[in-house]
Amino acid sequence: MDFTKFLREKIPKEIGDEKTHFSIELSIVMKKPKGHPSRAPGLIWEILDAFDGGTFFKGQGYWKGIQEPIIYIMISINDDVKTVIEKLKPLLETCQNKLMQQEVFVKINGFSFIDSLLPESVTKTFPTQWDFDDDMQEITVNQSRIDEHHKLIKGRVEYQRKKYNSARDVWIEMINQFAENRELSQNQKRDLVKCYSNILSPNIELEKSSRDWMISQWIKLLPFSKDSEFDQKVLSKHAEARMRGNRIKLLTLHNYEIGKEELISDGAFAIEQIIFHLKKGLKLYLDKDPFDDIKTIMKHLKSIEIGEVQKSKIETMIEDLATELPIYKNEILNLNFNQFSNN
- The 3-state secondary structure of 39-69, one letter per residue: CHHHHHHHHHHHCCCCEEEEEEEEECCEEEE
Q: 202-246 pLDDT, tens per residue?
A: 999 999 999 999 999 999 999 999 989 999 889 999 999 999 999
**Consecutive H or E run containing 108:** strand 104-108
Looking at CATH, the fold of the domain delimited by 143-335 is given as 1.25.40
User: How far is 234 from 336, CA to CA, in rounded Å?
Assistant: 31
Task: Calculate helix-pair angle for 237-253, 290-303, nearest 10 degrees.
Answer: 30
Q: How far is CA 207 from the centre of its chain?
A: 31
| pLDDT of residue 343 exceeding 60 | no
Residue 23 has pLDDT above 80, yes or no: yes
Q: Which of 34, 98, 45, 37 is nearest to 236 (CA)?
A: 37
Q: Per residue in 255-265, is it b (16+ CB within 10 Å) or e — as a string?
A: ebeeeeeebbb
Terminal Cα distance for the chain, rounded: 45
Quickly name the fold that domain 3-131 has.
Alpha-Beta Plaits (3.30.70)
**Per-residue model confidence as pLDDT tens digits over 135-158:** 666 666 555 566 789 999 999 999
Domain-by-domain residue ranges, the chain? 3-131, 143-335
Helix (H) / strand (E) containing 150:
helix 150-160
pLDDT recorded at residue 142: 57
> How confident is the model at residue 10, as a pLDDT?
92
C-beta separation of 215 from 200 below 8 A: yes
pLDDT at 276: 93
Give the per-residue pLDDT at 277: 92
Q: What is the pLDDT of residue 340?
A: 74
Identify the pLDDT of residue 144: 56
Alpha-carbon gap, residue 6 to 13, rounded angstroms: 12
Question: pLDDT above 90 covers what percent of the chain?
Answer: 65
Say if residue 54's pLDDT is above 60.
Answer: yes
Separation between Cα atoms, residue 140 and residue 61, nearest integer Å: 21
| Per-residue pLDDT at 292 exceeds 90 | yes
pLDDT of residue 222: 95
Arithmetic mean of pLDDT over the chain: 89
Element (H, E) at 28: strand 19-29
Residues 15 and 88: their CA atoms lie apart, in Å, by: 16
DSSP 114: E
What pLDDT score does 168 carry? 96
Instruction: State pLDDT tens for residues 293-329.
Output: 999 999 999 988 888 899 999 999 999 999 999 989 9
Q: How confident is the model at residue 180 (pLDDT cuts 50, 70, 90)?
A: confident
Spatial CA neighbour of 214 closest among 250, 238, 181, 265 = 250
Asked if 41 contacts 98 with a C-beta cutoff of 8 angstroms, the reply is no
Contact in structure between 284 and 42 (CB atoms under 8 Å):
yes
Percentage of the chain beyond pLDDT 70 is 94
Compute the average pLDDT of residues 163-169: 96
Give me the pLDDT at residue 287, please.
86
The per-residue pLDDT for 87 is 95
- Are 230 and 189 a contacting pair, CB within 8 Å? yes
User: Quick one: pLDDT at residue 58?
Assistant: 87
Comparing 341 with 27, the larger pLDDT belongs to 27
Q: What predicted TM-score, i.e. pTM, was given to this entire model? A: 0.84
Continuous segment of H or E residues that includes residue 238: helix 237-253
